[in-house]
Structure 1
């Protein structure tokens, strides 16, 4: 970058007697603000269905609110009677009865509040769990490319951010009803005592609420910035924990920690901006609030001096103002909590509104419409298929691919790294959709087939296959509640992992660490192979499924799989010659295009790209 000051530019321009126009653009502070989020019509109507199962509790809540309001309403009346009828007239009996009555109402109020808080927490928590459960249910129905476009920290932060909805439901939504009712009742009582005091109260209250509301949009923008930076923070921590081995091996612990500290600095700055905004908002609100109290107290005292109001009425007005201030404070807090909940809900709705990969018109893979094709050669057809990742300038990963994968045969796909092998396999599983062209299963478009049913009938081992933090048996028999142990044993024998499992103290009940911590790369791959074999599916897709295995284990597993492959459509992506040489057909990819296809001996005789791959591998072996 070349940096020149404004003075230097002007000096250079003027000294050369140049003519023209210089346009100086200087960003203001607003330029560096996050782009104002789009206004969305988020409605809490989406929460109403969650309230229906809790109708009876909500009815009890309303009853308790009513009783609480009545008891609160009685206090100012009793206070006035205490002063005017008891203290002024020196009637000890009246004073005693009134104080005992106040004590009874006070304890009644406490009981009502305890029950109300219990109901509020119960209902709010259950609704929150159900909303979050539906969010996760929806999340798991979205296509893989949606996850590819998001940071892991983004999803974590959305779930954490979801707590704002629970806070709103448990601490604000139902209590605000009580506050509105209380305010309305005392509003009427204050009108009865003095309309002038009520008018002043309304004007100054409007100023205090208005002051709070004018900062809400700015607060919304800052909340979006903070959410983004918290997501980055989650992602940074996730990377450090999961990449600790690589960090230690490559000596960049300090670099990653410094990266995290920079994110913390950004978070600190945005938190300071939010704190500053909150202080301005709350300080202005408190100023108008205190001004209102002072003016109202002055007016009430003035009316007492002029003989228009009794001292008992003065105390009652003071009590009423205090009771009305509480709902106003609650209202401002409610608006802030409402905004937080709406922002959180909008982030959840971004997921909820995203189209699912499963469509209602999809049919099961084994539907008779797809299986009765006796007159047509069965298999998988690629017809002029192209694919590129999102972005118009992104290079094509696959270009105009046309091929036939026969049913019940083994097809191997080979090629250099980045040639599009894994992408092609993911398209077979409907993880990605073609930019152009079509894929057919037995001459039926893959777009008409249910993705979940397609995967249910596929046994897949990917390069990045995941091991769950669960027992070995649950990592193999992932899709079944009731495990078939006979089938499980056969799967382990096929994957040559039974002896290892039997050597463990808890055998199949041994719990594996997250992402397979504590297992070698070869052991992880054998568990993944056993998982695919246990499903006993119609389609088998292996992407470098034996790359981490030693030669002896690979040979044993390869021999075991030959009988398992019979009658199944098998697609293998691999580099090793031993894995692909016996395939019924071999597809050679280069830069996203098919350049060769045939059997092993046919391709070797051509002495072109496949021959070079084989020769290079043999040379490396030697």
Structure 2
């Protein structure tokens, strides 16, 4: 199935508007042709070529339809002329005006109906892209540029709107305009119309040659848009570092290189695009010129065609040029749209590596333990964890410590099922987490990370991510447990205060306490703390540590610790090195061993 047809599937819910558009376009094309044909009787009157006919003609069948139409027109004009020439002209002018009015009315209605279809398709496409973006596993975005994903949801969808979906307006209207016009032209002169058909294929061949290379250049433009959006996203995210290291020139140079490549690719694409329209118009005018010569021969030399009929014929022939030009432009639009659709469909059709099983269960509670059973895991080629096992009984706090790169944070990613283990299994109450729906699994878990991920919204709405229907009282209680109420109550709008992009109106310690409050409000039975205090100063660390201890009371916790002073009261401390357990026990037991843990404590105390 082509990308165009796959995108058109999104039009099915709006097929009623499509049918209304088709009906309106049929009438638009019909009245557009009749508007031109209605000039014929007026020209006949002006040229004085109307044959006097006093007797009403009789219908003798479709084979003589053209003669009947001409005879009836002459009879009608004769009757009106008997009433006065002015009446004939007024009637003819009114007829022309009415035809053009009806044509434009149905043209508006066609555009009115198609707008609901176009905008509906774009809305549904964006919604599906966003849902897929959220649904895809974390690993997907560790391999892709964020800016490229943003470009697909913004620029590529915009391209779909202005290429594929603009074609929906042309699919019915323009071919019908050509069809009705050619039908009228055949009635006026079949010989002249067959002559025209000799030149139409030539135009088509030339235009298709121009549009063939458009897709290749369109691919380059859309890929480069993803690159420069990635640079922009990285710049905004790392502005403090860029300024702090005086790296403005480095990033400015990267951005300018990207926009220069985009400039060159866009120029090539647009220049070829723009060539299609004047080429088709020029070829059309050449056809008209040849028609003038050949038709002129029929009018002036052969005397086989009336002058007024020839003028109407030329008007109809010229009327074909506009839809023909639109169709040629649509061809180049399809080439551009195919590139955008390919990139969009790549996301929509990407299979998530982490999926619920068909018979996955919904687990509502936690009763006994979290068991990590002989797991091994690698991100790419190198093993991060090898044959790792750990038992976390209900109500216990287990701390994971070790040097950077020892695999501590990987365990948090595996328990939350952001990644799946390569070997072994992780169980909650003897149920493999792969047999549990992801939604119910994560309902059992609370997560506080090293980076306080907050959103540009109020404190209340940031906390309600933990519990959507939480009351103000519940939010305030959670803030108190997290030692955050002391600063929130002093804010001008309290919990209704907007904290800015990524919570940047707050200090690091304040942001982390809000993250803890969010986890407290969720009130899950299992808490995962991934180096929750490592980025804080001493004062903030003390407040956050108090908040963490409040939160972990009577709760099962897996704590990934950088600062060892924060986990001395843990029930079990597990020391990792290169993805394997080298020691485990309580704080005082490990110190007595004077092994890896003792050395880590010594290094931190010296630091």
TM, length-normalised to structure 1:
0.86
1:273-422 equivalent positions in 2, closer than 5 A: 273-282=268-277, 284-305=279-300, 306-356=302-352, 357-361=354-358, 363-364=360-361, 366=363, 378-390=368-380, 394-422=381-409
Deviation by residue 1:480-521 (Cα, 9 ceiling, x = unmatched)? 443222321221112111010011110100001111122111
Q: Supply the distance in 1 between the matched residues of 2:375 and 2:275 (Cα, whole angstroms).
A: 59
1:70 alignment counterpart: 30
1:604-619 equivalent positions in 2, closer than 5 A: 604-619=591-606
Task: Give the CA deviation at 1:114.
Answer: 2.5
Per the alignment, do residues 520 and 216 of structure 1 end up closer, same or farther by CA in structure 2, a change over 3 Å counting?
A: same
**2:198 match: secondary structure:** helix
2:152 alignment counterpart: 158
1:104 corresponds to 2:101: no
**Does the CA-based 8 Å contact 1:411-1:572 persist in structure 2?**
yes
2:67 alignment counterpart: none
Q: Supply the distance in 1 between the matched residues of 2:89 and 2:49 (Cα, whole angstroms).
A: 10
2:494 alignment counterpart: 507
Task: Give the CA deviation at 1:194.
Answer: 3.0
Deviation by residue 1:236-261 (Cα, 9 ceiling, x = unmatched)? 11222222211111001111111111
2:166 alignment counterpart: 171
Per the alignment, do residues 521 and 552 of structure 1 end up closer, same or farther by CA in structure 2, a change over 3 Å counting?
A: closer
Greater shift in the superposed pair: 121-130 or 546-555: 546-555
Per the alignment, do residues 569 and 387 of structure 1 end up closer, same or farther by CA in structure 2, a change over 3 Å counting?
A: same
> Aligned-pair RMSD on alpha carbons?
2.3
1:51 alignment counterpart: 12
1:94 alignment counterpart: 88
Which of 54, 57, 80 lines up with 2:40 in the alignment? 80
1:218 alignment counterpart: 213
**Does the CA-based 8 Å contact 1:176-1:330 persist in structure 2?**
no
Q: Supply the distance in 1 between the matched residues of 2:7 and 2:227 (Cα, whole angstroms).
A: 29
**Does the CA-based 8 Å contact 1:225-1:270 persist in structure 2?**
yes
**1:414 match: secondary structure:** strand
Q: Supply the distance in 2 between the matched residues of 1:186 and 1:199 (Cα, whole angstroms).
A: 13
Q: Supply the distance in 2 between the matched residues of 1:367 and 1:506 (Cα, whole angstroms).
A: 36
2:196 alignment counterpart: 201
Q: Supply the distance in 2 between the matched residues of 1:47 and 1:174 (Cα, whole angstroms).
A: 13
1:577 alignment counterpart: 564
Where does structure 2 lack aligned partners over 5 or more consecutive residues?
51-84
Task: Give the CA deviation at 1:282.
Answer: 4.3
**1:162 match: secondary structure:** helix
1:131 alignment counterpart: 125
Task: Give the CA deviation at 1:53.
Answer: 4.5
1:227 alignment counterpart: 222
2:135 alignment counterpart: 141
Task: Give the CA deviation at 1:198.
Answer: 2.4
**Does the CA-based 8 Å contact 2:40-2:309 persist in structure 1?**
yes
TM, length-normalised to structure 2:
0.88
Task: Give the CA deviation at 1:360.
Answer: 5.0
**Does the CA-based 8 Å contact 1:358-1:452 persist in structure 2?**
no
Q: Supply the distance in 1 between the matched residues of 2:545 and 2:235 (Cα, whole angstroms).
A: 37
1:258-277 equivalent positions in 2, closer than 5 A: 258-277=253-272
Task: Give the CA deviation at 1:268.
Answer: 1.2
1:42 alignment counterpart: 3
Task: Give the CA deviation at 1:610.
Answer: 0.8
1:21-40 equivalent positions in 2, closer than 5 A: none
Q: Supply the distance in 2 between the matched residues of 1:532 and 1:300 (Cα, whole angstroms).
A: 83
**Does the CA-based 8 Å contact 1:496-1:553 persist in structure 2?**
no
Task: Give the CA deviation at 1:552.
Answer: 4.3
Q: Supply the distance in 2 between the matched residues of 1:464 and 1:123 (Cα, whole angstroms).
A: 43
Q: Supply the distance in 2 between the matched residues of 1:617 and 1:495 (Cα, whole angstroms).
A: 26
Task: Give the CA deviation at 1:385.
Answer: 2.1
**Does the CA-based 8 Å contact 2:39-2:312 persist in structure 1?**
yes
1:525 alignment counterpart: 512
Q: Supply the distance in 2 between the matched residues of 1:364 and 1:536 (Cα, whole angstroms).
A: 21
Which of 459, 464, 473 lines up with 2:451 in the alignment? 464
Q: Supply the distance in 2 between the matched residues of 1:241 and 1:564 (Cα, whole angstroms).
A: 34
Which of 233, 246, 250 lines up with 1:251 in the alignment? 246
1:61 corresponds to 2:21: yes
Q: Supply the distance in 2 between the matched residues of 1:195 and 1:360 (Cα, whole angstroms).
A: 67
Per the alignment, do residues 414 and 131 of structure 1 end up closer, same or farther by CA in structure 2, a change over 3 Å counting?
A: same
**2:31 match: secondary structure:** helix
Q: Supply the distance in 2 between the matched residues of 1:283 and 1:435 (Cα, whole angstroms).
A: 59
1:586 alignment counterpart: 573
1:9 alignment counterpart: none
Greater shift in the superposed pair: 208-217 or 319-328: 208-217
**2:213 match: secondary structure:** helix
Per the alignment, do residues 386 and 236 of structure 1 end up closer, same or farther by CA in structure 2, a change over 3 Å counting?
A: same
Task: Give the CA deviation at 1:92.
Answer: 4.7
Q: Supply the distance in 1 between the matched residues of 2:113 and 2:537 (Cα, whole angstroms).
A: 61
Q: Supply the distance in 2 between the matched residues of 1:272 and 1:43 (Cα, whole angstroms).
A: 25
1:24 alignment counterpart: none
